[in-house]
Amino acid sequence: MAALDAVIRCTVGTTGFQLTSCKLHEEPIIREGAGLGYGRIGTKIVVTCKGWIEGATADLFNTALWAVKNALSSPGQNFIVYGPGDRVEVSILAARVLDGGPHITLDVDDGAINFREISFTVNAQTARAGGGGGNSDTPGGEDPVDFYEALMKVAVRPDGLSTITYTGEIRGPNVLARLAAVLVGFNADYPSNWWIKNHDYEVNEAGDRLSYTLTAVRLKDEQPVAAVNAAIDIVLTHSRDVDEGNRCMETWSFEGIVDGDVDVMINWVRNHFSPETAILRESVAVTSIKERRVSASFTTVKCFEAGGVMCRQETLRFTKAATVYEVKQYPGIDPILVERAKTVGRLVQSGSAIGVNGYPAANAPVLPTMLEAPEFLRTVLNAIERKVEWTYVMAVTDPTWDLSKLAGGA
C-alpha cells in the first residue's frame, strides 16, 4: 500500500491521504451577454477521489476513521493532489474559493473490521479575475481564480523515439512560483540523461495569467549528466576508415550545448573508447559568453583485425647461382671472356610492420643458411605507432631452387 504514496496522494489542510484514483472535472460558469462582466465569470470544480482506511487493530482503525471524518468535515481547507514526482496536479486554495469552500462529502464502504474503502467528492467554485463587472486587469470584488490546466501531446517517430509536449495555463497569484513547481515534477519525470528538455512561457502584464509549453525529446543513446556537468543537447558522430594495410582510423566528434565543466565532457568521450583503441590526436573548441557550446573530435588508430599488426609488408629478392664471365680487355686483341669462380644463389628477405603501443614481431627467415648477420631496425613513428623492419641475406645451395618453392609462391 505504501508504494501508492509515491504515485498519487492528496492533502486536505494539514492531513494527507493516499489515493487509488482521482478524477477532476471542471465546468466553466458562463454569464451570457456582451461586454465587461459577461462571458466566463468563474469555474465549478468537482474532484472525485478514492482511497482506503486501515488499522492493525479495531481500535487503531476506529481512530484512523475518525481522523479522516474530522479532516474532511471541515470546509474552507486547501485541497491539493500530487502526482508522480510530487508534481501538483490539482490545487484548490481555500482563499480563492467562493462560499467558504471547498466542501467535501465522504462515503465509507462496508468492509472488514480493520479495512474500509472510502470515496469523497470535493466541490468548489472559483470566480474568474474581473468577473461580475470587473475586467481582466482590474479584479472586481470577487476572489481571483486559482486555476491550472495542462494538455499532453505525444509524437512518436518511426524509430520509436518520442517527443512529449505539455501546454498549459496557470491563473491566479504567484504564477511564476507555481510554474517552478510544475518544472520540478517535469524534470523528475524526464531525466536529462535520456531527454532533451525545453520550456517557454508568457505572462500577462497583471502577472495573474501564465501560459507555458514544456517539451521533452527522447534520446536514442544516453548522454552524460553529473552533479557538476550536464550535456544539454549534443550530437555524437562516429566515422571509420580502414586502409589496405589493415589500419583502422576512427574519428569521434561531438557538438552541442554543455552546462558545466567542459573537461568532464571530454573525459566522458575518452572513456567510451575500448582499451585496445589509442587516441592519435584530438581537437577541442569551446564557444562561450552567449552560450557554452563545445565542438570536439578524437582520431583513434587500431588494427582492424585481431593481432594488432598493421601495414605488414615483405619483399624477396632472389639472385640465382649461374655461370658468370668477366670481360678481359687488352690492346690490339679482341675481348676475352674469363669464367668467374663458382658461387651460390642469394636470397634477400626484407620487410616491415607497424604495431599500436608496441613493436610487432618480425617475420622469420624463409631459409636457414645466412650469408650475413640478420639486421633489425625499430622506429617510433608517433606516440602510438611503432615500426619494426628486418633484413635477412640467405644462401641458396640447391641449383634447382626458385621463389616458387616457397609456400604461396607462384
Give the CATH number of the domain where residue 27 resides.
Answer: 2.40.30
pLDDT at 37 over 50: no
**17 and 137 together in one domain:** yes
**188 and 315 together in one domain:** no
**141 and 151 together in one domain:** no
Model pLDDT, residue 143: 41
pLDDT at 149 over 80: no
Predicted model pTM: 0.43
pLDDT at 211 over 80: yes
Q: Report the chain's C-alpha Rg in angstroms.
A: 42
Mean pLDDT of 157-180: 87
**193 and 260 together in one domain:** no
Residues in a beta bridge with 379: 387
**10 and 112 together in one domain:** yes
**4 and 55 together in one domain:** yes
Q: How does residue 273 score in pLDDT terms, banded at 50, 70 and 90?
A: low
The three-class DSSP label of residue 67 is helix
Query: What's the helix, strand, coil split of the chain in %, to 5?
Result: 15, 50, 35
Residue 40 within a domain = yes
Mean pLDDT of 173-183: 86
Mean pLDDT of 255-277: 72
Model pLDDT, residue 272: 67
**327 and 288 together in one domain:** no
**315 and 252 together in one domain:** no
Q: How far apart are CA 79 and CA 47, in angstroms?
A: 10
Q: How does residue 230 score in pLDDT terms, banded at 50, 70 and 90?
A: low
Cα 26 to Cα 90, 105, 126, 407, distances in angstroms: 11, 17, 11, 88
pLDDT at 405 over 70: yes
C-alpha cell at 260: 558545466
Buried b (16+ CB within 10 A) or exposed e, 115-138: ebebbbbbbbbbbbbbbbebebee
Q: How far apart are CA 170 and CA 149, in angstroms?
A: 7
Exposed/middle/buried for residue 404 (C-beta within 10 Å: 0-12, 13-18, 19+): exposed
Please count the other Cβ atoms lying within 10 Å of the Cβ belonging to residue 58: 10
Q: How far apart are CA 142 and CA 132, in angstroms?
A: 8
Domain termination residue (choose one: 303, 337, 358): 303
Residue 410 within a domain = no
Which residues touch 366 (CB under 8 Å, ≥6 apart)?
Answer: 316, 347, 349, 392, 394, 406
**157 and 131 together in one domain:** no
Mean pLDDT of 65-91: 85
Model pLDDT, residue 277: 62
Mean pLDDT estimate for the chain:
80
pLDDT at 206 over 80: no
Query: By the 8 A CB rule, do 236 and 272 touch?
Result: no
**313 and 377 together in one domain:** yes
pLDDT at 60 over 70: yes
Question: Which secondary-structure segment (H or E) carries 41?
Answer: strand 39-54
Of residues 36 and 157, which shows the higher confidence score?
Answer: 157
Residue 73 within a domain = yes
Domain termination residue (choose one: 222, 237, 256): 222
Model pLDDT, residue 283: 86
Terminal-to-terminal C-alpha distance of the chain: 81
Residue 79 within a domain = yes
pLDDT at 135 over 60: no
Question: Which secondary-structure segment (H or E) carries 181?
Answer: helix 175-189
**45 and 95 together in one domain:** yes
| Total domains present in the chain | 4
pLDDT at 276 over 60: no
Mean pLDDT of 113-120: 85
Among 54, 188, 193, residue whose Cα is nearest residue 115: 54
Share of the chain above pLDDT 90, in %: 18
Asked which of 101-105, 121-125, 149-153, 354-358 is least confident by mean pLDDT, the reply is 149-153
Domain termination residue (choose one: 117, 145, 173): 145
Expressed as residue numbers, the domain containing 120 is 1-145
Please count the other Cβ atoms lying within 10 Å of the Cβ belonging to residue 146: 25
**245 and 256 together in one domain:** yes
